[in-house]
Amino acid sequence: MSGGTYQNMPRKEIPWYPTINTDLCLNDNVCIDFCSNDVFKVDDIHTVVANPYNCVVGCSSCGTQCPSGAITFPEKRDLVEKLRELRAKYAPQKTAASASR
């Protein structure tokens, strides 16, 4: 899934993925068990975001599953603004021939 696209936009240009507050994290693997997209893994003894771009754009469900509240996401309004910007950037360019049809 990593390195793909989201609605014809490069996924790596969309800053939507979780962050983990290690001071709050219980390392209980709830996020690992919950997320089916292989976003999280245990690195040594800490849970980390190993594959951030595997995260489904707009999904924050793992954050609600975390009993300690250690998982956070960017603001959704920031996501909406970034998606608008990227849609404009990657919109198909109309040629003179296609515009006259």
Q: In angstroms, rounded to a whole number, what is the distance separating the alpha carbons of residues 54 and 52?
A: 5
* pLDDT computed for residue 98 by the predictor: 56
* pLDDT computed for residue 100 by the predictor: 56
List pLDDT tens digits, range 40-64. 999 988 999 999 999 999 999 999 9
List pLDDT tens digits, range 54-96. 999 999 999 999 999 999 999 999 999 999 999 999 988 776 6
How many residues are listed for the chain in this entry?
A: 101
Map out the domains of the chain as residue ranges: 5-84
Q: In angstroms, rounded to a whole number, what is the distance separating the alpha carbons of residues 35 and 61?
A: 9
* pLDDT computed for residue 92 by the predictor: 83
Asked if the 5-84 domain carries CATH number 3.40.50.720, the reply is: no
> Is 60 exceeded by the pLDDT of residue 1?
no
